[in-house]
């Protein structure tokens, strides 16, 4: 799959939209400026996919070519990818994994295995203004996709009554005060039922336009659904011997003007609850990556501003020890971070299972790409929804601390849900 530089710059959202309409499997991840990198995949050459006892490599027909056993499915997939990269250098895979890679998602998420990275028939990569394609170049010439009239009205309904969810937040805070954990993340799910077609391509275009500083992604499910979102948070980037993560925890709204922006940001920095929540996450990421690095540099926290929200963000950058672990090896060590799970990890995971009451699927997992050298990047799969032909399931969650206020936490989830609600109605 030797890449060829293209003399034109295809719109990758348009490419995957047309390819999906033509019946091809598609995946797309676009990273924002600076140093923007976008990757799109059409069709399937290989799948690196979770199995009950580890991971397997399958061809386009679903025949198993290789397998790796292990309780940690991400680590098993990393070993398989390493072997494939040695046999076939130059491959690129796009995909991601669920919040809990140890089990296959259920219910609405049945079209998504716990772990899936796909080597497409056609891979298109854009980096710093240059576009390259590898694989079946004939797939670049997709017929223009016909789009049905878009949905204009949505009936929005929480899957779990808001009062019940706030009661769960209050119970989580009580149990945190009792010492069961230092932090736990609780999410909620909202159904958006439409009066017309919800097209993944249209949603992706709207997200890209409205949230240019976020990772935009679309991953097609095997059952006709599509997972789409605009994530502000980098889980991992590996480039040779350098690894970078930017954990975010603690958030507030944007202001109407610069003065209000600054006032809200100052209140966020002064918030004991938010700064304590952020320290838990930043310390965890620095320690987890530090175990694989000969040196680690931690910068922050600072305010990261996006279209409708501001976050406390810390940048963790390390120089990896040799032999340098691959992107998936690092993900196996780092995921889940306290930003989407809590701390300590096992105690927080138990509280989520007892109090959250929903199937997260790939929400709060990760989406991204990797190459045969072990380089690549993963964004945390947040600000997202699972799209159907006539609706969507939308997800948002917050980090709970011992002094969390249920009403304030509910309002923060409403702020985060606006990302997808706005894109659906665009």
If one counts every other C-beta atom within 10 angstroms of the C-beta of residue 400, the result is 28
What are the percentages of helix, strand and coil residues in the chain, rounded to 5?
30, 35, 35
Of the candidates 183, 277, 356, 412, the residue annotated as catalytic is 183
Give the span between the Cα atoms of 355 and 406, in whole angstroms: 14
> Counting beta carbons within 10 angstroms of the beta carbon of residue 97, is it exposed (0 to 12), middle (13 to 18) or buried (19 or more)?
buried
d(C-alpha 168, C-alpha 151), whole Å: 33
CA distance 31 to 36: 5
Query: H-type helices in 178-303, by residue range?
Result: 200-210, 258-270, 272-290
Query: Which among 41, 405, 419, 51 is positioned nearest to 215, based on CA atoms?
Result: 419
For residue 72 the two structure tokens come to: 């940690």
DSSP 347-366: HHHHHHHHHT-S--TTTTSE
Token match 């097209």: residue?
199
Residue tagged 């386009």 (tokens) = 60
Q: What is the token pair recorded at 27?
A: 């995946």
Cis peptide before 309 (omega within 30 of 0): no
Q: Is 233 known to be catalytic?
A: yes
**Could you tell me the CA-to-CA distances from 356 to 169, 183, 353, 398 in Å, in that order?**
9, 14, 6, 11
- The catalytically annotated residue of 25, 121, 189, 233 is 233
Cα separation, 339 vs 380, in Å, equals 9
Structural contact between residues 241 and 319, judged by C-beta atoms closer than 8 angstroms: yes
Quote the CA–CA distance of 363 and 356 in Å, as a whole number. Answer: 13
Question: Under 8 Å CB-to-CB from 311, ≥6 apart: which residues?
Answer: 232, 233, 248, 249, 250, 251, 303, 304
Verify whether residue 189 is a known catalytic residue.
Answer: no
Q: Tokens 């206020």 map to which residue?
A: 405
Which active-site residues does the annotation give? 183, 233
């Amino acid at each position: 799959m030797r890449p060829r530089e293209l003399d034109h710059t295809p719109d990758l959202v348009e490419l995957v939209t047309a390819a999906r309409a033509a019946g091809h499997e598609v995946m797309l991840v676009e990273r924002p400026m600076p140093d923007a990198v976008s990757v799109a995949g059409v069709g399937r050459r290989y799948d690196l996919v979770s199995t009950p006892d580890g991971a397997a490599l399958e061809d386009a027909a679903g025949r198993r070519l290789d397998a790796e056993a292990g309780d940690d499915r991400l680590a098993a997939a990393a070993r398989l990818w390493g072997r494939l990269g040695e046999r076939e250098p130059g491959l690129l895979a796009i995909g991601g994994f669920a919040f809990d890679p140890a089990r296959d998602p259920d219910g609405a998420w049945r079209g998504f295995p716990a772990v899936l990275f796909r080597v497409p028939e056609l891979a298109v990569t854009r980096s710093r203004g240059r576009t390259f394609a590898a694989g079946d170049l004939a797939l670049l010439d997709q017929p223009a996709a016909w789009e049905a009239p878009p949905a204009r009205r949505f009936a929005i309904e929480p899957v779990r009554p808001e009062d019940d969810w706030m009661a769960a937040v209050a119970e989580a805070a009580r149990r945190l005060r009792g010492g069961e954990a230092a932090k736990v993340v609780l999410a909620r799910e909202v159904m958006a039922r439409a009066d017309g077609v919800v097209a993944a391509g249209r949603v992706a275009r709207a997200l890209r336009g409205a949230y240019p500083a976020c990772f935009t992604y679309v991953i097609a499910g095997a059952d006709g659904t599509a997972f789409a979102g605009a994530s502000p948070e980098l889980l991992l980037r590996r480039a040779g011997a350098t690894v970078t993560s930017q954990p975010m925890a603690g958030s507030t709204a944007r202001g109407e003007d610069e003065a209000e922006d600054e006032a809200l940001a100052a209140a966020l920095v002064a918030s004991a609850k938010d700064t304590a929540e952020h320290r838990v996450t930043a310390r965890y990421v620095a320690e987890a990556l530090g175990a694989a690095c000969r040196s680690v540099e931690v910068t922050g926290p600072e305010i990261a501003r996006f279209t409708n929200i501001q976050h406390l963000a810390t940048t963790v950058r390390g120089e990896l020890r040799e032999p340098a672990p691959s992107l998936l090896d690092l993900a196996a060590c780092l995921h889940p971070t306290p930003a989407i799970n809590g701390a300590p990890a096992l105690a927080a995971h138990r509280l989520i299972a007892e109090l959250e009451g929903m199937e997260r699927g790939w929400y709060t997992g990760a989406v991204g790409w990797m190459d045969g050298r072990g380089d690549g990047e993963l964004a945390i799969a947040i600000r997202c929804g699972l799209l159907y032909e006539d609706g969507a399931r939308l997800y948002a969650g917050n980090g709970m601390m011992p002094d969390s206020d249920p009403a304030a936490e509910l309002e923060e989830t409403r702020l985060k849900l606006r990302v997808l609600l706005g894109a659906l109605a665009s």
